[in-house]
Amino acid sequence: MNKKIRVMLVDDEEQFVINMARILKVRGFDVFTAFSGYEAVDVIKHGGGFDVVVLDVKMPGMDGIATLKQIKKWAPGIGVIMLTGHATLSSGIQAMRKGAYDYLMKPCDIEDLTEKLKEAHEADRIKRHPVLWPRKTVREIALHPLKKLLPDESLDKALGMLGREAGETAVEEVYIVDLEDRLQGVVTRKDLLNEAKKIHPQASLTWVKLLENPHWLPEKATKQIMRHDPITIQLNGHLTDAANQMIMNKVRCMPVLKSGRAIGIIKLQDVFQYIEHEIE
């Protein structure tokens, strides 16, 4: 039997923490809750043995950034995911540069959070490379491959592309393009879950269960459920513009266009690491 991933949730919104802890426990996580940065650091200092910490940015007293710094001081190997309803460019940059694994925005989809918890746990021995120089434009940072499908391809094919093997980074969305790679729309994990729930409204569906049962999806083409007009950035666009767009639209990745064609994606966590911005 696999050992449960041990998670600490840190947030001054007590009801939010209690509800999130209940949901994560149902999904097989071992969850501890703390309602302030001081409480979280005290537990860490005394050897809490946690794999991942989910930490709110905006808290009274010791805020999330200060708490992150202390957690990394006492337990540098713990993966820390920052979670906030008050996302800003500056706080995101600070969090990533001070050792956060990732930065998520409230309201956070529970399926996205569970995938990110697994990623952070698996990556706890991977050391980040330091940022050697700031970057200003999209073309200066490495682009991730664009997961793409044609409009007439099936939902189960989209499901397969959105699955994640152990040790891999989760793909959060798949993009729909025409034969010339012009962007048509986007399909997310949440979109596929919603389609399955329409057919099986009585079932308690999770992303893991859907991956194990692709036949639960209707026989539809991706164009029938895709979201039109996803936000995009040009290859020569500025990283600050990209970050602000993603924060404003509460997305964590964005397609990059060159001459009207989709050539890859950038991720918010990468932008936070490389952006040129005074934060000290």
Closest by CA position to 115, among listed 237, 45, 24:
24
- Three-class DSSP category at 176: strand
Number of other CB atoms surrounding residue 187 within 10 Å: 25
The number of CA neighbours under 13 Å toward the Cβ of 61 is 11
CA distances from 35 to 12, 15, 89, 118, 275 (A): 5, 10, 25, 23, 32
Q: Which residue has the higher pLDDT, 187 or 96?
A: 187
Among the residue ranges 13-22, 26-35, 140-149, 180-189, the one predicted with the least confidence is 140-149
**What class has domain 138-274?**
alpha beta
Q: Which helix (H) or strand (E) holds 9?
A: strand 6-10
Kindly give, in sequence order, each residue whose CB lies less than 8 Å from that of residue 132, ignoring residues fewer than 6 positions away.
none
Domain ranges of the chain: 6-122, 138-274
- Residue 38: C-alpha distances to residues 64, 115, 232 (Å): 10, 27, 40
Q: Which CATH entry fits the domain spanning 6-122: 3.40.50.2000, 1.10.10.10, 1.10.3720.10, 3.40.50.2300?
A: 3.40.50.2300
Cβ(47)–Cβ(6) below 8 Å: no
pLDDT at 127 > cutoff 60 = no
pLDDT for position 124 = 53
| Average pLDDT in the chain | 87
> Tell me: the pLDDT tens digits for 210-251?
998 999 999 999 999 999 989 999 999 999 999 999 998 888
pLDDT of amino acid 276: 58
